[in-house]
Amino acid sequence: MAKKLIIDLTKCRTCEECVVECLYDHHPVNHGMKSLLEMAAFQFTCRRCEDAPCIEVCPPEALERNNEGIVERALNLCIACKSCVTVCPFGTLMNHFFEVRQPICDLCDFNELTKSLKCIDTCPKGALSFTEFVPDDKKHILELNERVLVKEYAWEKLKQN
């Protein structure tokens, strides 16, 4: 079974700012972890408000829902004003998502020797691991993409829909 990166958002939220380091050979300033955390927040933590105040408040109209109703941020439009962070009534959005405008993560840094990734080694809360977990609703393990799983107590109503 292929191993996946698993991010435990329940531990993640105990940090004020993400300090996880990220190594990406082809791009000296990479913020892959922040990108993954943003994706996970919009996908699993966001309450998908009907009136979506985050979308309403965004000055350059950088936020919109995709076909599945998930809010997404257009990186080329966002000016990092963080108005959406302030207005979200559920604390879904965190300041550190918006410090970068072109994040990317492709698990590039897997170290065969240590069987680890730089992000895993530098997370002070131990919120990251590389394991053979599979998505499991009962254990609150959800699939973010083909290589990344997220542990999050997803909003119950979303699962009922």
Q: How far apart are CA 138 and CA 1, in angstroms?
A: 20
CA angle 142, 143, 149 (to 5 degrees): 85
By beta-carbon proximity to ligand SF4, the closer residue of 72 and 143 is 72
Confirm or reject binding of residue 58 to ligand SF4 (CB under 6 A): yes
Name residues contacting ligand SF4, limited to 94-133 (CB under 6 A): 98
> Would you count residue 153 as binding ligand SF4 (CB under 6 A)?
no
Q: Name which of 39 and 58 has its Cβ closer to ligand SF4.
A: 58
Residue among 98 and 130 whose Cβ is closer to ligand SF4: 98
Query: DSSP string of the chain?
Result: ---EEEEEHHHHTT-SS-------TT-SS--HHHHHHHHHIIIII----SS-HHHHH-TT--EEE-TTS-EEE-TTT-----HHHHH-TT--S-GGGGG-SS-----TT-BTTTTB-HHHHH-TT--EEEE----BGGGTEEEEETTEEEE----HHHHH-
Q: Does 134 sit near ligand SF4 (CB under 6 A)?
A: no
Q: Using CB under 6 A, which of the segments 19-27, 51-59, 104-112, 124-132 binds ligand SF4? A: 51-59
Return the residue of 3, 11, 48, 140 that touches ligand SF4, per CB under 6 A.
48
For residue 32, the minimal CB distance to ligand SF4 (Å) is 19
Figure out which of the listed residues 52, 117, 142, 144 binds ligand SF4, where binding follows CB under 6 A: 52
**Footprint of ligand SF4 (CB under 6 A):** 46-49, 52-54, 57-60, 62-63, 71, 73, 78-84, 88, 90, 92-93, 98
